[in-house]
Structure 1
């Protein structure tokens, strides 16, 4: 519970910072500017999946398993840092090169180009930060984990507000607002794992640890990146089929949905290393008890939050963002249904990777992404952002059902019944 508290504080700070920042950007930039920022930030978050290459998730698993062996954990963390620098630079170069094609040919918004070029500079540093975060998560050093996330999100909020409100730099100020803190915090994050770092000599580079981290990370990044497409493809496809103004309206709906995902995301940070360690010790009954307890409680809490937002959502939108954004209310109601159902699985979302079935994660994510793209392609041209919300909610409900069928099947291998 103490670990969950720190994880929750970390994610609550991120969610609150994100909410306050969107309030400022919505008021200062209007629906158009907020829409452009949302598209750039969505691409940034998607590129982050590849930049970090799943190394952080790999280290959470391996550090948790070998936490009693300092030499072994040091080798894993050092390998992860090396790998993250390489992959982060590679993805940054790719985005920088493709920025013109994405901004002009895909979204027909030429001013996005220099915003994406700025964003590309972040990737090596966010990759390092994700690696350190994964290591701290594996050790269950949740205070340090929380401190790093709080520092990053707070600095993004303050720098963004300063550049947008006081320097009047508009959208470019908002992008610099997340780029500069990301670079600084990513660079400084190495301090938290400096005592575990080893100099990469010849024997170190010849061992299989770096290969294991990258192999595990490869399937994690496939699953995470496809999963990110699955949960954010609605924003991208709204920008493709409609315009940045509609993206801005839909972004307001997504802000309130973060309240539903906050608690399950916090819980997942703790269940991941616990399941990995219990699995390594063959304590399968402990895993089953954890699954039953966590999923039920998270679902009930999410349901209560959804009811609150359904009742007071219209008032909140008008009070916080003014009535110009009231078009976001109906999409929010529809999204609440899907995310309330999906929240129970989110709390144990790394279950497959924690028990060694990392390839299964990306296979399910791939199916989910294809389903979501198909539904959004069908509904958005006909029904606009309402159609995007319907497509997302429907796919989330179907995905949650599929996950529990698969988990139940996997547990039967250990003579356990969910």
Structure 2
């Protein structure tokens, strides 16, 4: 087992690689948006979200339980790799079959404005690659090897971007080119993971066996997180399908572009959140856990609010890059910014609660959120279109943060001021870090 690095070092490594992911991902969004136009961009959004939703339904929380048990050293990473491979293949097959059935019987309802459903059948090829990538990537998160964990993210983005440049910009394959690039990006990432994992893990006959006790407890722990993540994801994405159903693909394209740009902004805090889950799970005392999460949530809240204000004022100047067809997209992003900022802190608190062995709390909150969000979207989208979807999303994200903050206080006993308000001691911490030149030299080398 790899000895865990410091929390700050891992967060920095993750931040640098995810910043690279932001840049590449933003370029990808801009190129696809400009080349396809709002209507085809809307079709692209609906199609690529379908395998993502299916993957959320079939993963059964194995990715979260992998992080939890590997970080607690209750299973060897090599043995976890083999078990995740077997389970991933089985679940992928179930996902592809379920996808075919859903398209065949409900395709006209789910994709009523997409004339050629062969695109939707085609995207099902991505499911095994996406699921196995997630299952394997979380092993590196569990052993707190964040160099590899985040390199995997960058590999996916780079391969996708290069293929988009070739297939859409150079050869003008349009929507099909974008879908091929999406699938190929995940496929090449899986190849990278497999090659690296064979070298990284000690894959012997002893650990290449199905560990029934591990799988049993993984499903028990993972199912609670699975339900939480499933309904949370539905809360994030259900308005895309509702928008397509009530308004049309062009509105989906405009809103989806704003939403994905907004999600790229929150990647900074995801870098810290990814490090927090295994770190909290491996800590011994409640006092250590409370102290760490309180500092992280305070810094995250201040950072995201400042960042959101900056984006609010500069997004109009960056809008022409997307093209004249996307004039409304900056307005939608401005509406989303408050919710996205608060959601970043909510994710920090959620990971802390899950790492304490109480993922069911997140599940209950997520169920409430998806019901509330769906009702709000059904009311606002027919009246206000994509603007209504953005308002509903921002409100539901903000409400989720408020509920999670109250529950975190209840679970930990920490006062709101302790984990939400920036303190004088935080400025002193920043000053000490800036003065530690050796610390930053080590981070840069990492």
Same fold (TM over 0.5): yes
Q: What is residue 274 of structure 1 aligned with on the other side?
A: 279
Query: Structure 2: how far apart are the matches of 1:297 and 1:163?
Result: 41
Q: What are the superposed Cα offsets for residues 328-380 of structure 1, whole Å, 9 maximum, x if unpaired?
A: 22221111111122221223432222111122222211111111101000100
Check conservation: 1:56, 1:130, Cα contact below 8 A.
yes
Query: Structure 2: how far apart are the matches of 1:96 and 1:359?
Result: 31
Residues 259 and 210 (structure 1 numbering): CA distance in 2 closer, same or farther, change over 3 Å? Answer: closer
Residues 64 and 182 (structure 1 numbering): CA distance in 2 closer, same or farther, change over 3 Å? Answer: same
Q: What is residue 57 of structure 2 aligned with on the other side?
A: 50
In terms of mean alpha carbon deviation, does 31-40 or 352-361 score higher?
352-361
* TM-aligned CA deviation for residue 181 of structure 1: 2.3
Q: What is residue 424 of structure 2 aligned with on the other side?
A: none
Check conservation: 2:132, 2:190, Cα contact below 8 A.
yes
User: Is 1:288 aligned to residue 295 of structure 2?
Assistant: no
User: Is 1:41 aligned to residue 45 of structure 2?
Assistant: no
Q: What is residue 186 of structure 1 aligned with on the other side?
A: 190
Q: Which runs of 5+ in 1 are unaligned?
A: none
Residues 327 and 362 (structure 1 numbering): CA distance in 2 closer, same or farther, change over 3 Å? Answer: same
Query: Structure 2: how far apart are the matches of 1:11 and 1:120?
Result: 27
User: Is 1:255 aligned to residue 269 of structure 2?
Assistant: no
* TM-aligned CA deviation for residue 234 of structure 1: 1.9
* TM-aligned CA deviation for residue 286 of structure 1: 1.0
Q: What is residue 389 of structure 2 aligned with on the other side?
A: 388
Check conservation: 1:52, 1:130, Cα contact below 8 A.
no
Q: What is residue 119 of structure 2 aligned with on the other side?
A: 115
Residues 264 and 112 (structure 1 numbering): CA distance in 2 closer, same or farther, change over 3 Å? Answer: farther
SS in 1 for 2:350: coil
Q: Which runs of 5+ in 2 are unaligned?
A: 1-7, 420-446
Query: Structure 1: how far apart are the matches of 2:184 and 2:76?
Result: 34
SS in 2 for 1:350: helix
Equivalent positions of 1:320-339 (< 5 A) are 320-339=321-340
User: Is 1:85 aligned to residue 89 of structure 2?
Assistant: yes
* TM-aligned CA deviation for residue 399 of structure 1: 1.0
TM-score by length of 1: 0.91
Segments of 4+ moved more than 6 angstroms:
none
Query: Structure 1: how far apart are the matches of 2:169 and 2:107?
Result: 25
Residues 64 and 243 (structure 1 numbering): CA distance in 2 closer, same or farther, change over 3 Å? Answer: same
Residues 110 and 100 (structure 1 numbering): CA distance in 2 closer, same or farther, change over 3 Å? Answer: farther
Query: Structure 2: how far apart are the matches of 1:405 and 1:121?
Result: 42
Residues 293 and 342 (structure 1 numbering): CA distance in 2 closer, same or farther, change over 3 Å? Answer: same
Q: Which residue, 117, 142, 163 being the options, matches 1:138?
A: 142
Query: Structure 2: how far apart are the matches of 1:372 and 1:261?
Result: 20
User: Is 1:22 aligned to residue 23 of structure 2?
Assistant: no
Check conservation: 1:118, 1:179, Cα contact below 8 A.
no
Check conservation: 2:56, 2:229, Cα contact below 8 A.
yes
Query: Structure 2: how far apart are the matches of 1:372 and 1:232?
Result: 10
In terms of mean alpha carbon deviation, does 102-111 or 302-311 score higher?
102-111
Check conservation: 1:92, 1:122, Cα contact below 8 A.
no
Q: What is residue 346 of structure 2 aligned with on the other side?
A: 345
SS in 2 for 1:344: helix
Q: What are the superposed Cα offsets for residues 358-407 of structure 1, whole Å, 9 maximum, x if unpaired?
A: 22222211111111101000100011111111111111111111101111
TM-score by length of 2: 0.86
Query: Structure 2: how far apart are the matches of 1:376 and 1:207?
Result: 43
Q: Which residue, 309, 325, 330 being the options, matches 1:307?
A: 309
Residues 110 and 249 (structure 1 numbering): CA distance in 2 closer, same or farther, change over 3 Å? Answer: closer
Check conservation: 1:61, 1:354, Cα contact below 8 A.
yes
Check conservation: 1:32, 1:244, Cα contact below 8 A.
yes
